[in-house]
Structure 1
Amino acid sequence: MSESATGRAHDAVLRHIEDSLRSGELKLGDRLPGERALAEQFGISRASVRDAIRSLEVMGVVRSATGSGPNSGTIVVSDPSSALGVALRMHVASHHLPVKDVVEARIMMETWSLEHAASAAWSPEQLDDARRLLEAMDDDALPSQVFTLLDSQFHVALSTLAGNVVVSTMMESMREAIRGYIDDAVERRGGWAEAVDTLRAQHRGIFEAVEARDGERSARLVREHIEWFYGQAI
């Protein structure tokens, strides 16, 4: 099969999966037909089917597992932040997407999220994830890499309060895209013991403003926090 024919076969499988998801014929948790069945359905090679399935895995649409049992086969999932994170990370690594621009986009989305969270319909219990992460970061024995992981999860947890799934997904993907750069920068610069105390105080202030539903203050504090941190680290 020529390269162009292989590409058309690959695209046909992807379009079929997309149409099936859109129509509701396929839903989260459903299992795709096997390679042989899909190959026969489309009149293409099993290799073309495998290429299409790999593409869907990279996009976070399906998960494949070998063997037998309820978790085997190719199952429809939804993990868009992982797929977007991989794509962003690669483009950041290629220097096509400067870290500075990613940070500016993060500030825009996070300030928007915290401003809108002030009037969103969330309950006090929905702050529990952010509160647990805040308390976990108080551990003086945490390595900087673990702290920055908890830090990014804390910000994502707060952003979800605005109720916009797309913004939360983008926040998650951006943290994945640049976390390695942040860890490297923190290690190069040193002075972590002093910086971590400032970060904890800033996190507390942001959390308290969000809890009080003070959108203007929480947005201002998170902007100052992000700009200060990246000014120190990058």
Structure 2
Amino acid sequence: MPAVTRTYTLVLDWLEERLRSGEISVGDRLPAERHLAEEFGISRASVREAFRVLDAMGLVRSSTGSGPNAGAIVISDPSAALGWALRMHVATRSLPVRDLMQTRLLLETQSAHEAAAAAETPERAAVLDHAAELVAAMEDPDLPDERFHAADAQFHILLASLAGNVVVETIMSSLRQATIGYVQETVAGLDDWPQVRRTLQEQHRAILRATQERRGDDAAAALRHHITWFFGHSPAAQEEHGRQH
């Protein structure tokens, strides 16, 4: 097993070098397994393992079979890979939900300030319009809970994107993926979910209004209250409260 680990990293290092130099770009198809195996003097199994690792990292998409559409194509989906990794570590309890919540607070409140100072562009207007559509959708009492949570997640990611920081946007998307389980657990344990849902709707509306009006301090404060208020209903918060008393 250690030998396989050593050999497949040759392919990973090779791809990193080619991506950095620009010889390979997103959308390009990688050489066939046989070609890479011969070039590095390793087994096709090792090349296949490298492709599996790259697929899990959100760097390639592989298709089986033969013909022009077969093989591995370079993509870039960092949030999917990071979100998957975070979810797994949350499941092991090595990443506490409270710490994820605190990280969201840091990212989203800072983004709120930066979004307030950002230039007025068609892109900003389009993002805010989309966010407003999501808020309107969440206020529909007939919207299924699953779609409500999806719209909620997208709303936060959209607003964070207004700061213009791709890394922050990627991490935000990953954090939302990582906390899906905790959101579902929280909602499942609530006797008063309809009232909680209405409160969340009011909070989303306040956050959006402050963002639209470029009131960064108010948007950040509304986000902080919104995130911590919902976390207070979670099983993790209840367990923590129980330990303290």
Tell me the TM-score normalised to structure 2 length: 0.91
- Does the 8 A contact of 1:122 with 1:161 survive in 2? no
Runs of 4 or more above 3 Å deviation: 67-72
User: Which position in structure 2 is the counterpart of 1:118?
Assistant: 116
- Does the 8 A contact of 1:202 with 1:221 survive in 2? yes
Task: Give how far 1:186 is off.
Answer: 0.6
Task: Give how far 1:134 is off.
Answer: 1.3
2:160 aligned with 1:150: no
User: Which position in structure 2 is the counterpart of 1:38?
Assistant: 36
User: Which position in structure 2 is the counterpart of 1:211?
Assistant: 212
Aligned match of 1:89 in 87, 90, 108? 87
Q: Structure 2: any 5+ residue segments left out of the alignment?
A: 236-245
User: Which position in structure 1 is the counterpart of 2:11?
Assistant: 13
User: Which position in structure 1 is the counterpart of 2:23?
Assistant: 25
User: Which position in structure 1 is the counterpart of 2:173?
Assistant: 172
Q: What amino acid is aligned across from residue 219 of structure 2 in structure 1?
A: S
Distance 1:11 1:31 in 2: 19
Q: What amino acid is aligned across from residue 56 of structure 1 in structure 2?
A: L
User: Which position in structure 2 is the counterpart of 1:78?
Assistant: 76
Task: Give how far 1:67 is off.
Answer: 3.9
Task: Give how far 1:118 is off.
Answer: 0.6
Distance 1:70 1:45 in 2: 23
What's the secondary structure of 1:25's corresponding residue? coil
Provide, for residues 202-229 of structure 1, a one-character-per-residue CA deviation record: whole Å limited to 9, x for no partner: 1011001101111111001000011111
Task: Give how far 1:68 is off.
Answer: 5.6
User: Which position in structure 1 is the counterpart of 2:54?
Assistant: 56
Task: Give how far 1:145 is off.
Answer: 2.6
Task: Give how far 1:100 is off.
Answer: 0.7
Provide, for residues 132-154 of structure 1, a one-character-per-residue CA deviation record: whole Å limited to 9, x for no partner: 21121122112323211210110
Distance 2:126 2:185 in 1: 35
Task: Give how far 1:83 is off.
Answer: 0.3
Q: Kindly tell me: are residues 60 and 122 of structure 1, through their superposed partners in 2, closer, same or farther at Cα, counting changes over 3 Å?
A: farther
Q: What amino acid is aligned across from residue 126 of structure 2 in structure 1?
A: E
2:137 aligned with 1:136: yes
- Does the 8 A contact of 2:127 with 2:159 survive in 1? no
Task: Give how far 1:156 is off.
Answer: 0.4
Q: What amino acid is aligned across from residue 133 of structure 1 in structure 2?
A: L
Distance 1:69 1:171 in 2: 38
- Does the 8 A contact of 2:182 with 2:234 survive in 1? no
Q: What amino acid is aligned across from residue 33 of structure 2 in structure 1?
A: E
What's the secondary structure of 1:162's corresponding residue? coil
CA RMSD between the two structures = 1.4
Task: Give how far 1:125 is off.
Answer: 2.3
Q: Kindly tell me: are residues 220 and 206 of structure 1, through their superposed partners in 2, closer, same or farther at Cα, counting changes over 3 Å?
A: same
User: Which position in structure 2 is the counterpart of 1:200?
Assistant: 201
Q: Kindly tell me: are residues 96 and 152 of structure 1, through their superposed partners in 2, closer, same or farther at Cα, counting changes over 3 Å?
A: same
Tell me the TM-score normalised to structure 1 length: 0.95
